């Protein structure tokens, strides 16, 4: 087991404010000190990752070490965003965990085919959500060597 010196920034793409709040609570409850950043749709997600638009200013968008992605979002939805990310030479290396209410097989297959790291259904209870966060922590923070954080792709 190894503990990374500095916890990665986790980028959460979630259009639902309640879910964002609950996720924040769950991270707090789990005593994780990863920085959480939120975007509300696929468009914002891509802008964030590419540092465009409102994320153009330096320091506005700390490099994301993990993306928690909801599939059902306005504008560019999670599926489309996932497709773009996984077909982008630079962005594809960022691990993506799909966290969604959709348990549609099509979505699951689609996500795995595109190379998501994990596919997790949103738990219905808060405790469940806390557990998910703990699993993420245990897996991504403790056991997995994340790619080096080279934000410029250099």
Partner 1 sequence: MDLGREPPESTPGEHSALAAQPSSPSPAEEWARKPRSIPALFESQSEILDLISSRAPLQETLGRTASLAEEVLSAAYCCVLVLDGGAERFVETAAPTLPAPILEVVRGGQVADKTSAEAICAASGTTLYLPDLADDSGELPSDFTKQLFSCGIKAVWAYPLLEPAGMPVGVLSLYFGTKQGADPQTDSVLRSLARLARFAVEHHRSDEALQSADQRFGALAASIPGVVYQRKVSPDGEIRYTYISDGAKDLFGVSPEEIVSDPNALFDCHSPEYRETFRERLLEASRDLTMWDVEATIDTKDGQRKYTHAIARPHRMPDGTVYWDGVILDSTRIKEAELRAASIEARTREEILESVSQGLALYDENDSLVVCNSHFLELSPGLGDVIRPGVSYERVARAIIENSLPGRGDAADADELLRQQMELHRAGGHSSERRLPNGRWVLVTEHRTDHGGTAIVLTDVTELKKREATLERSNQELQQFASVASHDLQEPLRKIEAFGNRLHSLCAEKIGDEATLYLDRMLSSTRRMRKLINDLLAYSRVTTKSRPFEPCDFKLVATEVVSDLQIQIEESDGLVQIGELPVIDADAMQIRQLLQNLISNALKFRRPDAPPEVRVSGRLVTAADRIGETMPPPGDVLELSVSDNGIGFDMKYVDRIFNIFQRLHNRSEYDGTGIGLATCRKIVERHGGELRAVSEPGHGTTITAVLPVKQIFSEA
Could you list the residues that contact partner 1 (CB under 8 A)? 16, 18-19, 22, 25, 101-102, 105, 122, 124-127, 129
Q: Which is nearer to partner 1, 16 or 137 (CB)?
A: 16
CA distances to 27, 50, 74 from 130, in Å: 7, 30, 26
- We find the least distance from the C-beta atom of residue 72 to partner 1, in angstroms, to be 9
119 Cβ contact list (under 8 Å, min separation 6): 97, 98, 100, 108, 111, 112
Nearer to partner 1, 54 or 104 (CB): 104
Which residues lie below 8 Å from residue 115, measured CB to CB, with a gap of 6+? 86, 92, 96
CB-nearer residue toward partner 1: 24 or 87: 24
CB of 104 to partner 1, least distance (A): 9
């Amino acid at each position: 087991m190894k503990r990374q010196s500095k916890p990665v920034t986790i980028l959460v793409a979630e259009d639902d404010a309640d879910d964002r709040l609950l996720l924040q609570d769950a991270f707090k409850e789990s005593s994780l000190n990863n920085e959480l950043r939120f975007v509300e749709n696929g468009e914002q997600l891509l802008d964030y990752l590419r540092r465009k638009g409102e994320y153009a200013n330096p320091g506005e968008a700390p490099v994301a070490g993990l993306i928690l992605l909801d599939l059902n979002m306005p504008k560019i939805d999670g599926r489309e965003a996932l497709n773009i990310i996984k077909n982008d030479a630079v962005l594809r290396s960022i691990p993506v965990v799909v966290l969604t209410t959709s348990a549609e097989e099509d979505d699951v297959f689609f996500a795995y085919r595109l190379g998501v790291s994990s596919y997790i259904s949103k738990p219905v209870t808060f405790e469940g959500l806390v557990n998910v966060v703990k699993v993420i922590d245990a897996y991504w923070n403790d056991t997995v060597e994340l790619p080096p954080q080279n934000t410029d792709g250099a």
